[in-house]
Amino acid sequence: MGKSTNDADFVAQLRSQGTQRRDGGAGMILHTPPTGASKSLDELIDTDKSESRGSPNERRASAQHDESRAPDDSLGRLVSIDLLDTHPWNARVHRSAERVREIASQIAATRQLVPITITKNPDKPGHYFVIDGETRFRGLKLLNRREAWTLELDIDPKDPLAFYTASFKQTDATEAISPIDKGIKWGTLIEEGHATAAAIAEQLELAPSTVSRMVAYKKFPPAILDFMHSHADRFPYSVAAVLAQLVDRGMPEEAILAKCQEVVDSQHGRRAIEAIVKEAKSDTERKQRKSALVAIPIKAGATQVGSFRTYENGALEFKLSTAATLSSENYKVLSDVFEVVSGLISEGPDDLLAALEQRLAKIRGGN
pTM greater than 0.75: no
Residue 69 CA, distance from chain mean position: 36
Give the model confidence (pLDDT) of 184-209 as tens digits. 999 999 999 999 999 999 999 999 88
Sign of torsion, CA 82 147 166 234?
negative
DSSP line for 118-157: EEE-TTSTT-EEEEE-HHHHHHHHHTT-SEEEEEE----T
Residue-level pLDDT at 67: 44
Residue-level pLDDT at 322: 64
Residues 38, 110 contacting (CB under 8 angstroms): no
Q: How far apart are CA 156 and CA 120, in angstroms?
A: 8
User: Which has the closest alpha carbon to 151: 63, 72, 68?
Assistant: 72
SS3 162: helix
pLDDT tens per residue across all 367 residues of the chain: 444 455 556 555 554 543 444 344 433 444 444 444 445 555 555 555 555 545 555 555 544 444 434 344 567 899 999 999 999 999 999 988 999 999 999 999 988 999 999 999 999 999 999 999 999 999 999 999 999 999 999 999 999 999 999 999 999 988 899 999 999 999 999 999 999 999 999 999 999 888 988 999 999 999 999 999 988 888 998 889 889 988 888 888 998 998 888 888 887 777 888 887 887 665 555 554 556 678 888 877 767 777 888 877 778 888 877 665 677 788 788 888 888 888 888 888 888 888 888 888 887 776 5
Give the model confidence (pLDDT) of 228-253 as tens digits. 998 888 899 888 988 998 888 888 89
Residue-level pLDDT at 41: 56
Tell me how many degrees the CA angle 112-176-183 measures, rounded to the nearest 5. 130
